[in-house]
Structure formats: structure tokens, C-alpha cells
Amino acid sequence: MRIVVLIIVVLQVAVTGKLNASPEQDAKTVAALDTKYQAAVKANDAATMAQILADDFALVTGRGKVYGKADLIDSARKKEVTYERQDEEPGTQKVRVWGDTAVVTARLWIKSMQGDKPADYKLWFSDTYVRTRAGWRYVFGQASLPLPKAESM
């Protein structure tokens, strides 16, 4: 009987991907995943972005524009933006975990070219991740308006 119970527990862990990770371990996992996502955006790595983003993902900008997964993947594939910087500023990332939901906040420095338009600004973002059977997925993001230069230092 003990063997049957052990097999059931092992199968449940394998299916759910949940090995009684502590909130601290979940926070580390999500922090690394979000950093990986930011690097994928910087490199226009559509394949990595597609793995991390949930199919029903939404990003809302500070101006109220909404982008879905397909929008971001398509932009990366077309290399519409060339990034010199797309980096979370050291020491600003904070991950908060509530069960199977985690929210990452950080200040992001973006320095890029879109066509002939240069951009160089910082903003705050909140990225929401949800634990799924396939692991953590990025489901919702919200980005602030660019910060005034004096506040972004």
C-alpha cells in the first residue's frame, strides 16, 4: 500500500510540477525566468519569448495600448526594434509570490532604435506569472510611462 501511495505522490508531482517549492524558491525561479524573458526581448529571441509567454498573455502600456503574445512574437521575428539595452536595473527587481501566482516589479532601462527613431528611457513594470502544469508562464504585464530623466537615475 505504501508503494502505491508513493507512486501516486510522485505522479502528482510530475504532472503538476509542484515539488513543495517554498515561496522563496518560487521567487528565485520566477526572478530568473523574468530576467531570461527580458534578455530574450533584447535579443529578439522569439522562440524563448514564445516559451515563456502564456497563449492569452496581455501587456498594457502606460498609454493604455494592449499587446498580445502574437504581437510581441511577430515584432521580435521582424526585428522591428534593435536593443542596445533592455535590462532590469540591478537591485530593483522584487518578486512577490502568492501560491501559484507571482508578480515581478523592477525598473527597466531601454535604449533602442525602432526604424530611425532612437529611444533611451527607464520605466517601472509589473509582470505577473502563473504556475501551470508546464511550469511558470508570463500571463500579464503592465509598463509605466517613461520616467522623467531626473527620476530615472
Question: What DSSP assignment string belongs to 2-46?
Answer: HHHHHHHHHHHHHHH------HHHHHHHHHHHHHHHHHHHHTT-H
Grid cell for residue 53: 509567454
Q: How far is residue 62's CA from residue 125's CA, in Å, rounded to a whole number?
A: 10
* pLDDT greater than 70 at residue 94: yes
Domain extent, residue 105, equals 21-151
β-bridge mates for residue 85, sequence order:
111
Does residue 78 sit within a domain?
yes
Does residue 74 sit within a domain?
yes
Across residues 79-89, what is the average pLDDT? 97
pLDDT at 10 (0 to 100) = 46
Does residue 3 sit within a domain?
no
Does residue 114 sit within a domain?
yes
Domain containing 47 — which CATH number? 3.10.450.50
pLDDT at 6 (0 to 100) = 45
CA end-to-end span of the chain: 62
pLDDT digits (tens, 9 = 90+) for 116-135: 999 999 999 999 999 999 99
pTM to 2 decimals? Answer: 0.85
Q: Which residue has the higher pLDDT, 152 or 78?
A: 78
pLDDT digits (tens, 9 = 90+) for 25-79: 999 999 999 999 999 999 999 999 999 999 999 999 999 999 999 999 999 999 9
pLDDT digits (tens, 9 = 90+) for 105-119: 999 999 999 999 999
Does residue 11 sit within a domain?
no
Q: Are 121 and 114 in contact (CB under 8 A)?
A: no
What pairing do the DSSP bridges indicate for beta strands 117-132 and 135-143? antiparallel
β-bridge mates for residue 106, sequence order:
125
Does residue 6 sit within a domain?
no
As for how many domains the chain has, the answer is 1
* pLDDT greater than 90 at residue 16: no
Mean per-residue pLDDT over the chain, rounded:
91
